[in-house]
Structure 1
């Protein structure tokens, strides 16, 4: 594996694409790790309504917006990404909880 290049070290579009691909691979690995915890949470929760916690969601969104600003990222885009991720996780958790309750 080649060493990562800083953005200013990239001289060609292929250099930039290679770094984006490297980062995408790392992001996917982190999403997979995160998904394991979401799965565990779904195993712990007992009611499908527990998957949606508005206060918790808004707290997470606010935290991510602040973090995005601190990283000089667009906070609206960060919010969109996290709301999408949270929505997927809610639906996933509900599915696991409902399926488990049906099989009991």
Structure 2
């Protein structure tokens, strides 16, 4: 049974809830990765993977959402920049490999 933070009475209670959330986050990241892979299949040039205007729009949107959720905006930005940087490099690799092989 899911417990709200205030309902957790022990460190173990808290750890169980964090583990549950981590599993959900990992599942969502895996789902997101499928869409990133598909985007890499659709794009035709490795340079398309890096779109600074779009990246900054995403960061601004996530900072605003973080603020609305009472989450530190700098922490949210760091997480999203890390995710975006990884995705850009991943997309570039897929697109470049496809161009080399075919």
TM-score strictly above 0.5:
yes
**1:40 is matched with which residue: 38, 41, 45?**
38
List structure 1 runs of 4+ shifted beyond 2 angstroms.
Answer: none
Partner Cα distance (1:11, 1:75) in 2? 29
TM-score by length of 2: 0.99
Q: How does 1:23-102 map to 2 (within 5 A)?
A: 23-102=21-100
Offset at residue 101 of structure 1 (A): 0.3
SS of 1:55 mapped into structure 2: helix
**In the comparison of the two structures, how many residue pairs are matched?**
102
Stretches of structure 1 lacking an aligned partner (at least 5 in a row): none
Partner Cα distance (1:60, 1:4) in 2? 31
Partner Cα distance (2:71, 2:14) in 1? 19
Cα RMSD of the aligned pairs, angstroms, is 0.3
Stretches of structure 2 lacking an aligned partner (at least 5 in a row): none
- Which whole-Å deviations, capped at 9, do the CAs of 1:25-56 have from their partners, x for residues lacking one? 00000000000000000000000000000000
Partner Cα distance (2:45, 2:32) in 1? 21
